[in-house]
Amino acid sequence: MRKKRLYLRYAEKSVASALSAIDAFNRVLDEHRVETTLILKTRAWELLGKALLLKNRISIVQDERGRTLSAEQVISKLQHQLQLLDENQAHHIQQIISLRNEAIHGILPNVPNEILHHLFYFSCKFYKDIITKHFKSYSEKISTNFLSISFEHLTTYCDKVQRLVGRLRKGRKEEKRLVWLLERGIRFDGNEYISQDNFENEWKSKRKKKILPHLEIGKFIKRAEMARIVAIQAPKNYTADVNLRKGPKGDLSLPVQIKKTDIEDDYPYLTREIANKLRKNTNFVSKCISRLSLKGNRELHQKIRSSKSGYINRYSEKALQHLKEFLERNPYFNPYK
């Protein structure tokens, strides 16, 4: 039987490692869950990177002894040589690799869940995008949903990093080490890491109180999107809506507000009921709603599944007032034209 090409074998093993990493991340009874996840996720990226390099006829051997490129060197080449990763994506993955290296060669400091969730979520997302684009035959294996349960009131990667850096001058050794591990991943230059001593000497030499603006990780959190895992528990017949709003310019956190909505209270009107209120026929109101694009605006409209007719359109008090005021301003409006 003819063997698959080498780069395809690398890609196949990479996907297996990626799935094992997800499995490890969701384990409950595993003392080494975090370390295992970091090791497997780094392996997935290293093998994927080598598969892409081989596919593009680029050697993965780095010296005469036949040793291949390290994971951090592979990601650097994906970013700078093949340009398959942008800076933001590479920085996410390099932080995982930096933490992995510490987990293998030392004792990993405690990493807050917000930082783990953020890095793992985005590394999986970027990984899926590259597999789907360059190795479509394996895309079905990772294009699915994986269950993750969280009962904690979590904040974000950004919030945790800001707090850790804010305590650098008086913080614990473990916290200082964690900040260094994240920073060195972002600052990897393709050849070597910055040492912890050099890193600490840099920020200690800054006379200003604020350290974060002088670190690469400070620039990273300004550019990167934030992810937050939220478990929503709702009574029967409630629906959940997630709305993103642009916050203040200096606010890099990701606050989550959960508002319980009762469909019949918040969206009390059917189309015919609005028609009765406006003293118009149902077809006229339906055409007005379509012309004014009220559907799809969650403040005005909700589409509710119904076993009898498929869907029912319900409208809020605000929608009724919007239509009423519009028709008062435009008494000769003809929605049929």
User: What is the per-residue pLDDT across 136-171, written as a single tens digit (0 to 9) for each?
Assistant: 999 888 877 776 777 777 888 999 999 999 999 887
| Domain residue ranges in the chain | 6-144+152-223, 263-329
- Any idea which architecture 263-329 has in CATH? Orthogonal Bundle (1.10)
Considering only CA atoms, which of 273, 323, 72 is closest in space to residue 188?
Answer: 72
What are phi and psi for residue 117, nearest 5 degrees?
-60, -45
Residue pair 113/102 in contact by the 8 Å Cβ criterion: no
- pTM for the whole structure: 0.74
Token reading at 337: 């034209």
- Which CA distances in Å does 44 have to 16, 84, 129, 193, 214? 8, 16, 14, 21, 32
User: Which residues of the chain have a pLDDT value below 50?
Assistant: none
The model's pLDDT over 101-118, given as tens digits with 9 standing for 90+, comes to: 999 999 999 999 999 999
Q: Computed from CA positions of residues 253, 24, 90, 184, in that sequence, does the dihedral angle turn out positive or negative?
A: positive
Q: Residue 249's pLDDT is what?
A: 63
Q: Residue 306's pLDDT is what?
A: 63
Token reading at 44: 């997935």
CA distance 227 to 34: 19
